[in-house]
Structures are given as structure tokens and as C-alpha cells.
Structure 1
Amino acid sequence: MISHTNMVLAPYACDPAKSRGRRFAQPPAPTRTEYQRDRDRIVHSTAFRRLVYKTQVFLNHEGDLFRTRLTHSLEVAQLGRSVARTLGLNEDLVETIALVHDVGHTPFGHAGQDALNACMAEFGGFEHNLQSLRIVDLLEERYPEFDGLNLTFETREGILKHCSRRDAEVLERAEPGGVGHRFLVHQQPSLEAQLCNLADEIAYNAHDIDDGVRSGLITLEQLQALTLFEQFRLQALKEHPQLGQRHQGRRLLYESIRRMLSSQIYDVIAATQAALDAAQPADVQAVRALPPLVQFGPEMRAQSKALKAFLLEQLYRHPQVAHTTGQARVVVTELFAAYTCSPDELPESYQHHIQQAHQAVTDVSADGPRLTARVVADYIAGMTDRFALREHERLTGKRLLS
């Protein structure tokens, strides 16, 4: 048996030997910590594999080199592990949360989520963080003893970046003192979860610059107005003047982004260490009672906000992106209408889920539409971009986004 005691963790890091455990008790694995085991279950899950064909900003068929939800998750994991090691946090837990944090995303990115949330407005709404939790707790069907992946509390806690009070109350009723509790008592998650939240932001800002330039929707000239980017472009040119040649534009972009990422990571490490030194949390529970500790310094936070505002205006709201996302909303909306009107169009397994849900309630006439809608939402949310388009064409006869 391999010992797990050689990990050097800070006292405020999550120790797998002190995990709050799983919803269904299982004996420990002989060669892996509890968080390594969570990571492996996620990597082998169906929901994780689907991320390779789910939109980040640009639809999968628009280009082979644009980021997908899968490559984004890998980048978040890489950035998170780099910071975790320096701060003495649990790298395995950071990686695990990073890999699982987007498994609940719909096809077509935020456009798909917004459309599905609108469709589900009278049935409890739809939110991808909650859907990620629903997947790992219920929807993955891999084990004979339980539904879901039966992940540790700490991983499940890290999945919920956001949660409304209404949704937290629903979670609390189902699992008193569980993953929804902190939103009701205004506490923080573990430092590993906090780190993943910030690594997520750093990763998508950087790769959306890259994908935006690659797509031709934003230019290097536009980016020069951003202090966070321009200072590193100028540094790169000073040290490597040949990058100023026209044919070196791609290499200059990569070098500028690389330096920008490094600067943000070093800033997070310094600002977070300063916050930890000031707060002196004794353990994980002390962390939860404090304000967020994983953070940018004030100047970097301001520069990051400016970058996000730029990307919102110049990329996410670009007419070409808006046209694509508009059609994506139509696909999701019409899929939802088709399945709720004719549930027999769903796969047999999902029809069985509807039947099971109906059998569990006393008043099917009152609860039936809500239960059917939730199963339909589960099915649509699990689709890849290309499968959603094929299903939409099959059910409506219309071909969009091809």
C-alpha cells in the first residue's frame, strides 16, 4: 500500500485524510487519496468526455484550434496546480475541482444556458453549477451501489461557485449541513475551491484573447489599449525585436499572453500569501469563516476587470458571435419544446426517468410537467454542440449553424 503522508500541506489546506467524506461510505483506495480518486472518477465520466465538443466561445465546428470546455478545464487545472503548490494547498483537489467545474454546461456555452434557463423559468430554472452537482450526484450511471459518482464533500463544495438563496435552501433540505449550507450562513468554500474560481477567470480571459485574435474578431492593435496586455507586448518586443515583423504576429501574441499569465499567477500568489499571513487561519474551518482569501492585488484586479469589459464589448457582443449565439438559443428552445411536447422522442432511459419521477409523487397532474421538464433539461444540457444540431434538424427539419 502506498502512503499518502508525504504531501506537504499547509494547515489551512484540505487534507484528504480529514475529508468530510462521501454521501455513501466506501472503503479507501489502496493507492490513491480521496481527492485523486475523485479526479479519476471525473476523468472517466461520460459528462467529462462530452466537454470536448462543447462550446467555450466559438462553436466546435467553426475551427479545430479554438478552445472547448474540455481544453478550458485543462488550462484551469494547470494554472490552479501551479498556484496550489506554491501556497501549500492540495494540488489534487484543485485539479479535481477544475476538471469537474464545467461538466454541467449546456451545448453552445452561455447562450445555451440562458435559453435553457428561460425554458425552465416556471420549473425552477437552470444553472450550470447546479447542473454539474446534479450530474455528479445523480445523473452519471456507472456504479451498482449508487447514482452519480459519489464524490467527496470538498469536491462537491468546489463545484458550486454560485448559488442563489432559493437553490441553497433546496439543497439544505435535501442535505442538511451539506454543500448548500455555506450560502445560507455566508461562509466561504475551501481555499482550493477559491483558487479554482480565480484560475477559471484567468484562464478564460487569456484564451479568449487568443481565440478572439485567431478568429479575426479582435486585433492586436485593439489589445494595445489594455494596460494588462500592452505592458507585456512591449516587454516582449524590447527583448525580442524580431517579433515586430509582420509574419511574427502570432508568436508575439503568444509571448505577450504567456507573460500576462505569469504576471497574474505571481500576483495571486503574493496577494493571497499576504492575506493568509494577516488572517492566520488555523485550519480549513477557519478559512470558511473568513472573507475570501485567494485574490488579486488591487492593481491587478482593476486591470483584470478592464480586460473582462473589453472582451465583453469587443468579442462576446461582436455581431458575428451574437448571430451564432442567437441561432444557438433557437436550437435549445425548440429542442425543449419538442421534447416536452413529445417525451417519446427522448431515449428510452430518459423516458424511464420520467416514469420513475412520476411514480414518486402523489399528484402527477400538479408535479408532472415540472418533473418532465427537468428530465428534458438534463438531456439537453448533456448534449454536445453537434449532437444538439443533429437532433434539432431531426425534430424540426431545420438546419442551423451548419
Structure 2
Amino acid sequence: MHASFQPTQRSAAACDAADLRGRLVSEDESAFRSPFQRDRDRIIHSSAFRRLKHKTQVFVEHEGDFYRTRLTHSIEVAQVARTIAGALGLNTDLTEAVALAHDLGHTPFGHTGEDALDALMKPYGGFDHNAQALRIVTSLERHYAEFDGLNLTWETLEGLAKHNGPVTGALPYALAEYNARHDLELSTHASAEAQVAALSDDIAYNNHDLHDGLRAGLFTEDRIAELPIIGPAYAEVDLLYPGLDPYRRRHEALRRVFGAMVSDVIDTSRANLLAANCGDAQAVRNLGRPVIAFSTSLWAKLRQIRDFLFEHMYRAPPVMVQRERVTIVVNELFPLYLSRRDLLPQRWHREIDTAEDETELVRLVADYIAGMTDRFAFQEHARLTGADILRDAT
């Protein structure tokens, strides 16, 4: 008989909504939602979150209906993050908010679009999707009467800014701009909840990129069965369900890979939290090392999987062809908007007219391009240049 689920006792290291460090603009909190639930809900209802449904994860949106997009990826990350946080006794609502928002700053065409925009923005402080996510939730979302952005809690903003670790040295422009007026303590680690969101990102994309790569025919199941974690998962499925339908076999194997990653993070992090003996969330930030982690052995195996995906998926010839095409789109749209500001929507004109310097003006163009979906970027490029990248490629 299987053991039934037992709720986990709250960890002393968890962020507590009762100890909230506030919002930049003071608000009365909700009578029936916690501050972090409210953050999560504002993120879900934001325009930037909706646009993720038409933004590239690995495959550009027009390549197929079954591949992950930034939206489905973000939802999967949030599901994993909430599971891990719950098992560790952390604040699941804060974890979910950070996970859902972590990719809001992505450009069209995923990391390829980001690389192109970063190169174009080098003279003006560069472009970084994590910093852009912060810019979106603190400035670019403009729906509320009393403030720009979503006015999220300090804890959620901190998680967005440094879920991958302390941010030191030369800061991305958007991050430096906001941190100057609302100190996010960038030199320390983020909360345990934000650390969970970061590792959940790794778990989600390692798992779903295997799914998508197989569906795209970039590699075979026999080939990935040679990899650690994956090979034993397929062997277990074949032992339990001989002759299983190929699609069910794939799902059963990869869900075991998924489970192995999640279980490892929970077990390793539970031991780390116990050893660190952090009395509160601030102690986690000041610890000087992350408390949420994979075990050394599993991390070594994941590196082999990631190296395989890099070679056979992220740098596969069909993917590289698309990378070249979409880079052209970004490289040609940017100077067009910069030289012809009348091409931007009317509601952007007031800010363009009141821009204080060239950097601020160029930033507005970058904001506009970064906010585009894949399909809109293709449409705008075709409309403004007369060249149809998709049609000409066929």
C-alpha cells in the first residue's frame, strides 16, 4: 500500500508574509489573499505574461503546435517549483510568483533574440532578460492608477533579480536603474524560495527539451538511452511494461527522469537546510552559499545531458538555420525603429518625445522590440522591409 501524502512542517528558513518587507508604493493588503498570492495573480494577469504564449522556447512558434513556448515553460517551472517548495516547508506562493515571472523579460525568438538585442545594445548598457523582467514588473506594465508596473513585494522582486545567485560587478542597465531607488541587496543570495524557482527552471527545460527534441526528430530514443538517468529510466519502463506503445514508453521514461531530478533536489536541499540551521529567511540570504541544490552526483549526470542537448538540439543544423533568420529580423527592425520613431505605436510617442538622453531613447526601442511575440516580429519585419523571412526560406 502506498504511503499517503503528509503536509510538510513549515521551515524556519521560509519567507513569511507576516514579515513582509513591503512594496515600493504602499498599499492596503487583501483581506483574502496573501501578499505573495497577490503578486502571483498580478503576474498572471499581466500583458507580458500573456505574450509568452507566442515566444520561442527552443523552436520558433510557427514550427509546430506541440513544442513548448515560453508560457508553457513558465507554467511547468511553476508547477515543479511549488512541489519542491511545499516538500521543503517553504512559502509556495512566493516560489510560484518568482517562477511564473522569471522569463517575462525574454525577447521574441528566445535566447537568439536576446543575443541579437544585447549586441545591438552594447553601447547603451547591453540587454539582459532577467533585468528586463524586473523592468517590466516595475515600469513597463502600466495598468494601475497609482503606480507603474505591478508594485510587487520586495521579496518577489529580489527573487526575480537574483534567483540565479548574487549579482555583482557591472550591473545590467535595467537592474541598476531600479536598484538605485529600491535596494534589493544584490550582493547576497536570494531567498530559498527564489533558489527553488531557479533549479525548477533547470529541471523543467532539461525534461521538456528532451520531449521536444525527440518530437522534432533531432535525436532518437536509442541515442538518449545511452545517457545517465535516462537509460535506467527506459530500462525500468521496458521491464515493467514490455511492448508498450512508443509514445507511452517515452512518456513513462521521461516522467521518471523528471521525478529523479525533483527527488534529488528535495533530498539534497532538505539536508542543506538542516545543516545550515537558518533561523529565518534573512539567514539564508546571508549564508554565502545556496541551500537549494542538486547532489554532486546528479549534477554531474545532468551536465552530460545538457552537453548532449547543446550539441544535438540547441546547435542542431535546423535550429541554427532558424537562429540566422530570426537574428536578421531583430538586426533590421532595431535601426528602423531608431531612425523612424513614427513607426512606433502612438502611445509610445510621448515617452520618446520626453526622453532625456540618447540612452533612454534607445532603451525605449529595445523595450518595444523585446516585448514583441515571434509572430508580431515577423509581421512587422515583413511590413516594414518588404522581405518575408518565412516565405523566402521555403
How far apart are 1:239 and its partner, in Å?
Answer: 0.7
Matched, 1:293 2:291: yes
Aligned to 2:350: 352
The one-letter amino acid paired with 1:378 is D
Is this contact kept in 2: 1:168–1:181, CA < 8 A?
A: no
Could you tell me how far apart the structure 1 residues matched to 2:307 and 2:182 are? 35
- Higher mean alpha-carbon deviation, 130-139 vs 298-307, is at 298-307
User: Using the alignment, how far apart are the partners of 2:32 and 2:8 within structure 1?
Assistant: 14
Partners of 1:58 and 1:175 lie apart in 2 by 34
Which residue of the partner structure matches residue 152 of structure 2? Answer: 151
The one-letter amino acid paired with 1:302 is A
| 2:265 maps to amino acid | V
Match of 1:330?
Answer: 328
Amino-acid identity (%): 46
Query: What are the within-5 Å matches in structure 2 for residues 148-297 of structure 1?
Result: 148-160=149-161, 161=163, 163=167, 165-167=169-171, 171=175, 174-175=178-179, 178=182, 180-183=184-187, 187-243=188-244, 248-290=245-287, 291-297=289-295
CA contact (8 A) 2:74 2:100 kept: yes
- SS of the aligned residue for 1:9 comes to coil
Shift of residue 341, structure 1, vs aligned partner? 1.2
Q: Write the distance in 2 (CA, Å) between the matches of 1:59 and 1:189.
A: 32
C-alpha deviation, 1:178, in angstroms: 4.3
Indicate which of 371, 385, 392 corresponds to 1:396. Answer: 385
Distance 1:88 1:131 in 2: 30
Q: Is the 8 A contact 1:100 1:159 kept in 2?
A: yes
Is the 2:214–2:221 Cα contact (8 Å) retained in structure 1? yes
**Which shows bigger deviation, 314-323 or 169-178?**
169-178
- 1:171–1:180 Cα contact (<8 Å) kept: no
* 1:325 alignment partner AA: R
Q: Is the 8 A contact 1:169 1:180 kept in 2?
A: no
- Cα distance in 1 for residues equivalent to 2:264 and 2:278: 21
Q: TM-score, structure 2 length as denominator?
A: 0.93
What is the match of residue 318 of structure 2? 320
Matched residues in 2 for 1:174 and 1:312: separation? 34
Once the two structures are superposed, residues 223-250 of structure 1 have per-residue CA deviations (whole angstroms, 9 ceiling, x without a partner) of: 022112111010111111122xxxx222
Task: Note the 1:97-116 alignment, pairs <5 A.
Answer: 97-116=98-117
Contact 1:51 1:69 in 2 (8 A): yes
Separation in 1 of the partners of 2:347 and 2:322? 31
State the alpha-carbon separation in 1 of the partners of residues 225 and 60 from structure 2.
27
2:125 maps to what in 1? 124
How far has the Cα of 1:182 moved from its partner?
Answer: 2.4
Q: Is the 8 A contact 2:8 2:86 kept in 1?
A: no
Measured after TM superposition, the shift of residue 8 of structure 1 is 5.6
How many Å apart are 1:169 and its aligned residue? 8.8
Contact 1:172 1:181 in 2 (8 A): no
Residues 102-150 of structure 1 show CA distances to partners (whole Å, capped at 9, x for unaligned) of 0100000000000000110101100000000000000001101110000
Tell me if the contact between 1:54 and 1:107 (Cα under 8 Å) persists in the aligned partners: yes
Q: Secondary structure at the match of 2:338?
A: helix
What SS class does the counterpart of residue 241 from structure 1 fall into? coil
1:64-121, Cα deviation, whole Å (9 max, x unpaired) = 1100000000000111111111110011111111111101000000000000001101
Give the paired residue count. 381
Q: Helix, strand or coil for the counterpart of 1:146?
A: coil
Distance 1:113 1:176 in 2: 24
User: 1:205 is aligned with what amino acid?
Assistant: N
**Residue 282 of structure 1: SS of its match in structure 2?**
coil
Match of 2:21 in 1: 20
Matched, 1:386 2:375: yes
The alignment's C-alpha RMSD in Å is: 1.7
Normalising by the residue count of structure 1, what TM-score does the alignment of the two structures yield? 0.91
Residues in 2 aligned to 1:340 and 1:173: alpha-carbon distance in whole angstroms: 22
Structure-2 change in CA distance of 1:379 and 1:174 (3 Å)? closer
Give deviations 1:242-298, integer Å, cap 9, x for gaps.
22xxxx222111111100111111111110011111110010110011110100111
Provide the residue aligned with 1:29 in structure 2: 30
- Show CA shifts across 1:169-226 (max 9, x none): 985675459455323xxx2100000000000001001000000000111111210221
Change in 2 beyond 3 A, CA 1:209/1:400: same
- Measured after TM superposition, the shift of residue 9 of structure 1 is 2.7
Supply the distance in 1 between the matched residues of 2:48 and 2:8 (Cα, whole angstroms). Answer: 30
CA distance in 1, matches of 2:20, 2:258: 32
Aligned residue for 2:144, secondary structure, equals coil
Q: Following the alignment from structure 2 to structure 1, what is the Cα–Cα distance between the partners of residues 56 and 253?
A: 25
Gaps of 5+ in 1: 1-5, 359-366
Query: How far apart, CA to CA, are the structure 2 residues paired with 1:169 and 1:391?
Result: 27
**Do the aligned partners of 2:131 and 2:175 also contact (CA within 8 Å) in 1?**
no
- Secondary structure in structure 2 of the residue aligned to 1:188: coil
The DSSP-based 3-state class of the residue aligned with 2:66 is coil
5+ residue gaps, structure 2? 1-6
Letter matched to residue 399 of structure 1: D
Equivalent of 1:376, from 359, 365, 369? 365
CA distance in 1, matches of 2:338, 2:315: 31
Once the two structures are TM-superposed, the CA of residue 166 in structure 1 deviates from its matched residue by 1.6
Q: Measure, in 2, the Cα distance between the counterparts of 1:279 and 1:181.
A: 21
Give the equivalent residue in structure 2 for 1:311.
309
The CA distance in 2 between the partners of 1:395 and 1:170, in whole Å, is 28
Partner of 2:83: 82
